[in-house]
Structure 1
């Protein structure tokens, strides 16, 4: 894949840009296998490839520039806007929406927020594309006073962007490197975007986490479901469950599944999906995964963990080590933290594993492993 932004030196986020994709995938696979070799004689499956470009289903774009000529992309080292609206790793449906949103900001008189000057209205636009080509659009603004202007302009925006299913305003008043604030104002009748993955219509609400690459996410959910079905546990915990992708993928008659997630919005999404699918044996709890495990009176037969980049940490790894739980599926976006956690869990060995290339053109990857307790 070629990228004019990378070649011009204005964006270097995709550190592997220009490296042949086959080499990227082979290097990631070899790196994961080497890093995790001390933790079991694993049967590694072939890596899952992605489309090289157009794979990102969401974009978090900083708004810079001026009211008459806003930039949609990132900021340079001086806090000035760099326009990346034609970013090639974003899905075509996301790219098509960005000029419309920039024009909307100008027409609605939403001044781009200036980091050096600490003034302006609009900080980010966050765009998510569903497999059905529907959009969730979120405007992150500094002050609630601009909401009436956005609401007044909404009919025109929906005419220009008719596939925008959900439009919201997020209030982030603080001057710090945090994209979103706590308050979300939904402007449309729909408050969730349906992300159909593997035939399961997951409901994605604002501020809910979902994998960046829909096609590879589907492969990941399918792989984990295959491993879980082979083990056939009667009870499963899905810790760091997000909108419930793993929990819902492994649901089966008679199998009790509990998902745990700190984001209340994500839990609302997961519960709505489970209810619509008629899955009474799947439940979701809002709370900290480690606290849930440490306070639970009963233990499941299998635990799925899908933590953020920092990993599950010493407390949860220690609980798993001492728990007696026979099996663990660990899905990680950072194989280094995965290795650190496995070092804290010497009773578990990797039975099988797989690299899934969720992030082509970058050094990041998803690694999923099935762990079993050594006899």
Structure 2
């Protein structure tokens, strides 16, 4: 009945069958993908990919190690709101990648520290000089100053001795020295060769301890560093990130973010001090502190919220959940503690517990007008981000990157 049918050589039958199977499989895959896209389960933004399931990792760790690229991002969404949140997450990643401290920045600071320590030890052999603060913790940006702690355990150093040391260094290594009288006196200076700005203190060992605690949090979960960098930039943009002017220090902001991430129904991070007390003991010899948390494994969180969702939750938490008048932020306990009537917390507008010595890191906020401005900014940014889901409405990304 089919006189014009083409006759096929029997030797080619297996080949034709395999080709037919392959075509059927490809056709099925195409139909499945088309169905998923039409159902709204998969949405890939043109020119920008982001992963709600966090298939991204950092490529520029301060310790020089690399991981899978942040560029591999897939936006999984079930509706338009989720896609807007994913756009927000992508903006946060973009800002983080542009502003994070590079490994070369850290190497330059460490080189200066080692050189200064060699010169100091010619006069004071038992003295040690430590790099501390955001440069080492992993929460610094490219333009962050470097904090140094000079540890002299034999005897306290007076302001006169610190000034004399400054004169000694200024002959060959530093310029623009400035002594700041504070609760912990600070010597600010600029390295002549590298151009790095330094803040040096003496015997403030709690700063070394909390640096390595924060560094452990920074690399415990890959979402921690990006959200903290964005929050710090947001606070600076709105002028609520300057302890010298009665607002929040960067250290306090970091503790506030960590506290929020700890207190979610499904925590993003745990209390490292509770889970690894031997690594963060306040009585550990200061020279052993850098080695303490070396073997802590990465934390596996069941919380799969995107960066955008976490930023929205952070602003909401301090707008309508956290009780400023009744609670103390505690990263050490991973919860909000009841505010007692002790001198440390009495009549304080914001109470944030220092994880090692228990002092209030937010004591600089001592004026009600500044406190009200901080709360108002949290509320305003949360409301704006809820409506727009665009980071530019609370933090202009282009201007922030250029700075």
Give the TM interval when normalised to the shorter protein. Answer: 0.3 to 0.5
**TM-score, length basis structure 1:** 0.34
The structure with the larger Rg is 2
TM-score normalised by the chain length of structure 2: 0.32
**Greater strand content:** 1
User: Relative contact order, CA 8 A, sep 6+: which one is greater?
Assistant: 1
